[in-house]
Amino acid sequence: MIRLILAHIKREISLVFFILLFGTLGYMFLEHYDPIQALFMTVITITTVGYEEVRPLDSVGMLFSIMLILSSFGIFAFAISRIIDYLIGTYPEEREAIKMENKLKSLKGHIIVCGFGRMGSVVAKELRKNKKDIVVIESNPQACEVAKKDGFLTIEGNATNDEILMKAEVKEARSIIAVTSSESDNGFISLSAKKLNPKISVISRASNAEWISKLHLAGADEVISPHTFGARRIVNFILNPGVVEFLDILRDENIDIFMEELSVKPNSMLDGKTFASWEELRLFLDVPSLIPLTFCIEKYNKCPHNEEFTLKESDKVIIIGSKSDIERVNKLVFENNK
């Protein structure tokens, strides 16, 4: 922080130093003061504090003092005011910007939300409830202020710009969610994110059905249409109201039942372990319910629950249980080695 301050006020400091040096050398040469006496005279002259001279000045010394006062007073006042203005005004803002930059650089596996409108704000808040690290990118200054007040790491700028994505540490991010009001912007964000980080998961928003295929071509792994999603929810509520209610319960943080997708990590207790059936895996993990997702996909979505299978690195398992169940299974998946 000291380096930051000095970097911004070095010109003002140089001006003050030059005035002091000029006055000190002038008094030493004209009045034959020693360095301390000359510096003292310079300081009381340019600050006009009114102390008596070290010893009476001759005519040349008086003329030099007049010149020093006239030439230095405005410069000295300007330099000091700029230093104070920076320390009180600009510096706190720059200090906060540096803190944010340091926080961004420390992130790994975070989620970037592009657009903090009606949809983006809800997405960001729901992800935060699930203890995910979030970075918001928003081009609208007012929306940026709202995001900052809500406690999100926020970058003001256009997410279609590669520099803005790099500032959000896109190369270290786990996912990026493009939910701006412009489908074309969402397409550019998807394209840029995949170019900068081919492994990143990209979720994009499309208001019109014609944009869904285009956004997939741009690099989006998943395209969400709010209108289509809303229509399907209405139909599901009519046909399967119990299922819809159960899924709503899973999103209710006041109810201790959760659904979470876990990936088997290398050398964990589950890596390479064989199970005779889903039920054996469920009993081993001691959870109410689960789905070995990767195994089901490999079986072309038939999900034969009584068939033997082996869990491998990166295999996904969906767990349904209490918070303590999820935390306990997480330890098996992430922490416990064989």
Q: For the chain, how big is the Rg over CA atoms in Å?
A: 33
Supply the DSSP symbol for 253. Answer: T
Which sign does the torsion angle of CA 299, 300, 301, 304 carry? negative
Q: Which pLDDT tens digit goes with each residue over 62-85? A: 888 888 888 777 777 777 777 777
Q: Which residue has the tokens 């005004």?
A: 89
Q: Which domains does the chain have, with CATH numbers?
A: 2-104 (1.10.287.70), 107-224 (3.40.50.720), 256-334 (3.30.70.1450)
Q: Which of 104, 117, 125 is nearest to 168 (CA)?
A: 104
What was the pLDDT predicted at 232? 83
* Helix, strand or coil, per DSSP, at residue 275: strand
Cα 238 vs. chain centroid, distance in angstroms? 41
Cα 235 vs. chain centroid, distance in angstroms? 38
- pLDDT bin (cut points 50, 70, 90) of residue 198 is very high
Q: Which pLDDT tens digit goes with each residue over 144-191? A: 999 999 989 999 999 999 999 999 999 999 999 999 989 999 999 999
Check whether 9 has a pLDDT greater than 70.
no
What was the pLDDT predicted at 334? 63
What was the pLDDT predicted at 3? 61
Q: Which of 152, 168, 149, 165 is nearest to 120 (CA)?
A: 152
Check whether 336 has a pLDDT greater than 70.
no
**What residues contact residue 115 under an 8 Å CB cut-off, 6+ apart?**
137, 138, 159, 178, 179, 180, 181, 205
Supply the DSSP symbol for 268. Answer: B
Percent of the chain clearing pLDDT 70 (strictly above): 88
**120 and 179 in contact (C-beta within 8 Å)?**
yes
Q: Give me the mean pLDDT over the 120-128 stretch.
A: 91
Q: Which pLDDT tens digit goes with each residue over 13-27? A: 787 788 889 889 988
**123 and 138 in contact (C-beta within 8 Å)?**
no
Longest dimension (CA), the chain: 109
C-alpha distances (whole Å) from 81 to each of 45, 75, 219, 273 are 18, 10, 52, 70
Cα 148 vs. chain centroid, distance in angstroms? 11
